[in-house]
A and B are shown apart, each in its own frame.
Chain A
């Protein structure tokens, strides 16, 4: 080390350089404007071309690129960056492509903006390159037609879109004149028409966006959380419309046209039937039992097979629901759960998606500010807490607590289910014994009990779950929702199981009681009808009237009194309300087979519910103090809806395929199983001659081989899809790795630029200049110290040559010196520099510029390539231009990069315009010293090693 020190000190130029260096280090790069850079640079170009000192560098000089070339040179360098090279072959090129497109798009957007400004001010539309470019990007290559949808979602301003559109129209005229095959024209026309048709219907449908204003109002006052409940409600309402129409048209209407006689014509409508669903209503189109088992010939000559229609219409209804729900679930799932594994979203969505843009009420806005603040604080502290793990004792305590709550919950749920079963049994006995005078209360007792359970249990469940002390409130909500769901499904299951019980049916068949259950389907239908109605009333009365309206009255009444400071208007209970909706919809699906008009009843129910809930929310509730994250919970709710649907479908399948239908009523009274009607249909079809082909098809479809092959096909498909998914996963991973590598690129460029500037810039350039001002940011890599302490000058040359560059080079890694250098900026600065050269006069010949060095980018290229190697690698030789001169001193020598950065060496070599670099001399001395020390020579890294 001392050897180098003395040697270095002996060289006056080195010392001078060192001084320059330290000055630079002190002042930093802050005032380093491109104007200064290019001024100095041009002086150099004019006067003392450094290459004149090296005639043997003619090759290099010939390679001195123009600014534009230099720009593309940078691009080349970028292409050689770790990310581009390593990423290749594992999807890296996709990343490059995407980046390029993004860059192009955003660049064109920037240009567009400028263009628009011009265009608006002089009022002249100019069809120019940018528009053409944009047009070409968007247009279909063959037809020249622009897809409106694509243009719509292209982020440029309206003025530009207009221009592109008119440009497209012009072009279309031109293209039309070309000779194209008639089929192509036809196909093209058809596709255009189809697209327009789709667009038109979509836009037309927007006219009928139901309750849009109400939703907006709710959202304006309560944010997206509460409005998500109403959106859910609206979705169910919309679902019930086609369902009702479907069921009514295919089941009820034909029966209505030809009504069978009532068994007891004396029963009249009293009004209480609306509540109980019994008595007069029992023998109407409302219930399964009323439908006949023959054909209907309301219109002469046409036969309508009622049993078949009944089954097929119900099946059709389920298929319809399935399609709609699965579609919604899938899109919601895609949107919200695609990358569920990564623990994203916490801070991102709580900061970037915190503000509800729909908020229009001032109190809500104020509250939202407050909510966001507390929430942010909460999650920060939560984050800190999550680091701490609970100790064993605490864990044990928590475990026993949760064990207790789970036992409690399960026993409560089991108790509720048992209660429902026994009450049902008890009431049935009453009916059987024919106690007479069946009062309303007895009829609706079960529904009342179930609804009460549904009202009270969620409160208990929430309490229990709250006791369990989950780390995240989100988990608490999910657990509570899950328990609530299990309870509700359990209750429904008990009722279904009770009515489909074989024993019950056998008693009805044996006819041993004074009163029998003649038609269990109708009974079940009635029960579900009551449940739907009572549930609706309970929701209105307790959840809305008592909990919201009366509470508000109470608050108003006691306003200002000391004791009730804490009492405030109710917050809208989103979770419980949505759970109630899911419960109601499940009832509808279960009951639709037994009570075909149930879809219509829930349709009416949802309609009133929307308005009642909306008015109540607007009048009685206050915005929640906690922020409700709609996104993921929405998916969970829709998922539960789907699950409910599947459970109901399974139940109905069991009923249709396994359960024995009542013999006294309904369309299947003379069948063993409901689905026998389908079998009979097939049999009758087989019998006819025209049905032969159909029979063959059915035979094939139901043959074992066919089913096997379908199953095998599905299996293969699933395997393909799952491996595809794995492939995408891999791609995502590699792309992510690539992004990280690109971060490395940036830092690499940064190091390079920084050390170049540090080494080369003799003295800090003046801060003033043509480029001072607002535009500066667009063309200059922003260089500034974050921490000036870290860039203090080094005390001696040796330190500067050996440590300081290294120190500085490593600096960005620890994030202190330069914040960023964007490659695009470097590129831009070149182009601007070129322009500057033509117009500016120069005054500072001694300046050595950044650009000067960038002109030698092929070498830098190599330097960068070299830098990508592991640090322990040995380097032999230097770039060719220098090599001829310095070969002797370098030949065979190896320099450990740990001691001296190749980078530093290269920078020194590349940058020094003043003749044989003193550092090179120093380096050679060092190299020789090292050579003498080291007896071992490392082979294999010749000059061709680049």
Chain B
């Protein structure tokens, strides 16, 4: 707790505990994790850690969506995170987070081109990410087939893209979502 304690006072902890699904002990733990990512912030909760350092977190290191996650949760343009953002991220990915919260952010993460819809381009990117196919050249037929099938299943209003509510609707029917979109503390 040592260093972290001086920077995270009791009120701040209580505030964080009120606003997240974590209790105070867990927040202190998370703060330790946070400051271990970059020593240069000198355990200042307001200090920003660059995206590349954030991505060195073991849970994010291998995550194909790490870049998007940083972008979505960062409050700055350069994808860097302060402790608020970090806690936001861990909160959404925590076990106790509600479905709607998770689905909301999942949508933002999957919306690669940030046009407010998960469209064909985004789905193509997602497929690239999960199959580790960086240049997207490996299997075009697979991707286009998948896009077609997904649209068939999920695109209720037949506009060839998934709006936020459509997306959340289909996720609510996927039992695996809550278990996969989760990082244990």
Q: Which A residues have a C-beta under 8 Å from some C-beta of B?
A: 98-99, 102, 106, 113, 116-117, 120, 148, 151-155, 157-159, 161-162, 165, 203-204, 206-207, 212, 215-216, 219-220, 224, 228, 335-339, 342, 344-349, 351-362, 365-366, 369, 372-373, 376-377, 380, 383, 629-632, 634-635, 736, 739-740, 742-744, 746-747, 777, 782, 815, 819-820, 822
Q: Which residues of A contact B117 (CB under 8 A)?
A: 820
CA A107 to CA B83, docked complex, whole Å: 25
Do A380 and B158 touch across chains, with their CB atoms under 8 A apart? no
Does B129 sit at the interface, judged by CB under 8 A? yes
Residues of the B chain whose Cβ atoms lie less than 8 Å from the Cβ of A338: 173
Given contacts A120-B75, A158-B19, A207-B25, contact A153 B105 (CB under 8 A): no
B37 in the interface (beta carbon within 8 A): no
User: Is B56 among interface residues, defined by CB-CB distance under 8 A?
Assistant: no
A153 to B88, alpha carbons, bound, how many Å? 11
Q: Establish whether residues B153 and A743, one from each chain, have CB atoms under 8 Å apart when the complex forms.
A: no
In-complex Cβ contact of B93 among A151, A152, A357, A630 (8 A): A357
Chain B residue numbers with a CB within 8 Å of A345 are: 173-175
Partner of B132, one of A349, A369, A380, A820: A369
Whether A349 contacts B176 by the Cβ 8 Å rule is: yes
Determine whether the beta carbon of B174 is less than 8 Å from that of A743.
no
Among B65, B87, B123, B176, contact of A353 (Cβ-Cβ < 8 Å): B176
6 A-B contacts (beta carbon < 8 Å)? A113-B75, A154-B101, A215-B184, A349-B176, A782-B115, A820-B160
Given contacts A204-B23, A207-B25, 6 further A-B contacts (CB under 8 A): A152-B101, A157-B85, A335-B178, A354-B180, A376-B127, A631-B178
CB of B3 closer than 8 Å to a CB of A: no
Question: Which residues of B from 55 to 110 have beta carbons under 8 Å from A?
Answer: 58-59, 61-65, 73, 75-77, 82, 84-85, 87-88, 91, 93, 97-98, 100-101, 104-106, 110
User: Which residues of the partner chain B approach A102 to less than 8 Å between Cβ atoms?
Assistant: 164-165
Known: A157-B85, A203-B17, A345-B175. A351 touches B157 (CB 8 A): no
Contact yes or no, A158 B104, CB < 8 A: no
Q: State in angstroms the CA–CA spacing of A154 and B21 once bound together.
A: 12
Question: Cα distance A191–B154 when bound, in Å?
Answer: 41
Quote the shortest CB–CB distance from B88 to chain A (angstroms).
Answer: 5
Inside 8 A of A346's CB, which chain B residues have their CB? 149, 153
Q: Which one, A120, A207, A339, A357, contacts B182 given CB within 8 A? A: A357
4 pairs of A and B residues whose beta carbons are closest in the complex: A631-B175, A743-B157, A203-B23, A349-B174
A158 touches B85 (CB 8 A): yes
Which residues of B come within 8 Å of A, CB atoms? 15, 17-26, 58-59, 61-65, 73, 75-77, 82, 84-85, 87-88, 91, 93, 97-98, 100-101, 104-106, 110, 115-117, 123, 126-127, 129-133, 139, 142, 145-146, 149-150, 153-154, 156-161, 164-166, 170-171, 173-185
B31 to chain A, nearest CB (A): 13
Q: Which of A98, A152, A216 is within 8 Å of B19, CB to CB?
A: A152
A219→B184 contact, CB < 8 A: yes
- Given the known inter-chain contacts A152-B21, A740-B158, please indicate yes or no for A353 contacting B174, CB distance below 8 A: yes
Residue of A nearest to B185 (CB): A212
Which residue of B is nearest A339, CB measured? B173
**Residue among B18, B22, B91, B170 having the largest count of chain A Cβ atoms under 10 Å:** B18
Using A155-B105, A203-B23 as known contacts, say yes or no to A358 and B158 having CB atoms under 8 A apart: no
Whether B179 contacts A631 by the Cβ 8 Å rule is yes
Asked whether, in the complex, the Cβ of A99 is within 8 Å of the Cβ of B165, the reply is yes
Alpha-carbon distance A220/B60, docked complex (angstroms) = 11
Instruction: Report chain A residues within 8 Å CB of B22.
Output: 203, 206
Contacts of A365 in B (CB 8 A): 62
Whether the Cβ atoms of B173 and A376 lie closer than 8 Å is: no
Contacts of A116 in B (CB 8 A): 75
Nearest residue, chain B, Cβ from A383: B149
Return chain A residues, CB-CB under 8 Å to B164. 102, 106
Complexed CA–CA distance, A355 and B66 (Å):
12
Task: State which of B24, B131, B132, B160 has its C-beta within 8 Å of the C-beta of A376.
Answer: B131
Q: Is the CB of A631 within 8 A of B174?
A: yes
Assess whether A352 is in contact with B175, with CB atoms less than 8 Å apart: no
Chain A hits for B64, CB < 8 A: 355, 369
- For A339, the chain B residues whose CB sits under 8 A away are 173
User: Complex: how many Å from CA A532 to CA B158?
Assistant: 56
Are B157 and A746 in contact, CB atoms less than 8 angstroms apart?
yes
Q: Among B19, B156, B171, which residue has its beta carbon within 8 angstroms of that of A740?
A: B156
Asked if B157 contacts A380 (CB within 8 A), the reply is no
Give the CA-CA distance A365 to B59 in the complex, in Å. 11
Partner of B159, one of A99, A228, A746: A746
Q: CA separation between A216 and B106, bound complex, in Å?
A: 21
Counting chain B CB atoms within 10 Å of each CB, the highest count among A212, A348, A366 belongs to A348
Q: In whole Å, how far is A223's beta carbon from the nearest beta carbon of chain B?
A: 9
**Residues on A with beta carbons closer than 8 Å to the beta carbon of B126:** 351-352
Q: With both chains docked as a complex, state the minimum distance between the C-beta of A233 and any C-beta of chain B, in angstroms.
A: 16
Q: Which chain A positions have C-beta within 8 A of B87?
A: 158
B131 vs chain A, min Cβ distance (A): 4
- Which chain B positions have C-beta within 8 A of A120? 75-76, 82
**List of A residues within 8 angstroms of B104 by Cβ:** 155
Set of chain A residues within 8 Å of B183, measured between Cβ atoms: 357-358
* Cα of A335 to Cα of B156 in the assembled complex, Å: 21
Q: A623 → chain B, closest Cβ, in Å?
A: 13
Tell me, in angstroms, the Cα distance from A348 to B24 when the chains sit together: 36
The CA-CA distance from A147 to B58 in the complex, in Å, is: 34
Interface pair B182/A157, CB less than 8 Å apart:
no
Interface pair B176/A631, CB less than 8 Å apart: yes
Distance to closest chain B CB from A55 (angstroms): 43
How far, in angstroms, from A361 to B85 measured CA to CA in the complex? Answer: 25
Question: A residues within 8 A CB of B157?
Answer: 739-740, 742-744, 746
Closest Cβ of chain B: how far from A340's Cβ, in Å?
9
A106→B87 CA distance, assembly (Å):
21
> How close is B109's CB to chain A, nearest CB, in angstroms?
10
Bound Cα distance from A106 to B126, whole angstroms: 23
Check B185 against A216 for contact (C-beta < 8 Å).
yes
A581 to B: closest C-beta gap in Å: 19
Closest A residue by C-beta to B26: A206
Which residue in chain A gives the minimum CB-CB distance to B181? A357
> Contact partner of A372 among B15, B17, B130, CB < 8 A?
B130
Contact A155 B101 (CB under 8 A): yes
For the complex formed, measure the closest distance between the CB of A101 and the CB atoms of chain B, giving whole angstroms: 10
Contact status B58-A369, CB under 8 Å: no
Asked if B15 and A165 make an inter-chain contact with CB atoms under 8 angstroms apart, the answer reads: yes
Bound CA span A216–B29, Å? 15
B149 contact set on A, CB distance < 8 A: 346-347, 380, 383
- Are A743 and B180 in contact, CB atoms less than 8 angstroms apart? no
- Indicate if the CB atoms of A357 and B97 lie closer than 8 Å: no
Q: How far is the CA of A113 from the CA of B75 in the complex (A)?
A: 7
**Do B59 and A151 have beta carbons less than 8 Å apart?**
no
Point out the residues of chain B lying under 8 angstroms from A377, CB to CB.
139, 142
Contact at A353–B177, with CB atoms within 8 Å? yes
Instruction: Take A116-B75, A358-B182 as given contacts and tell me if A739 and B177 are in contact as well, using a CB distance cutoff of 8 Å.
Output: no
B88 and A360 within 8 A (CB): no
Task: Give Cα distance in the complex from A349 to B76, angstroms.
Answer: 31
User: Which residues on the A side are within 8 Å of B142 (C-beta)?
Assistant: 373, 376-377, 380
Whether A352 contacts B62 by the Cβ 8 Å rule is no
Q: A631-B175, A742-B157 are in contact. Are A212 and B184 (CB under 8 A)?
A: yes
**A106, chain B: closest CB distance, angstroms:** 6
Residue contact B75 to A349, C-beta cutoff 8 Å: no
Q: How far is the CA of A346 from the CA of B65 in the complex (A)?
A: 21
Query: Is B75 a contact partner of A369 (Cβ separation < 8 A)?
Result: no
CB <8 Å contact, A777 and B160: no
Query: Which of A204, A219, A352, A822 lies at the interface centre, i.e. has the most chain B CB atoms within 10 A of its CB?
Result: A352
Scoring B101, B175, B177 by chain A CB atoms within 10 A of each residue's CB, the highest score goes to B175
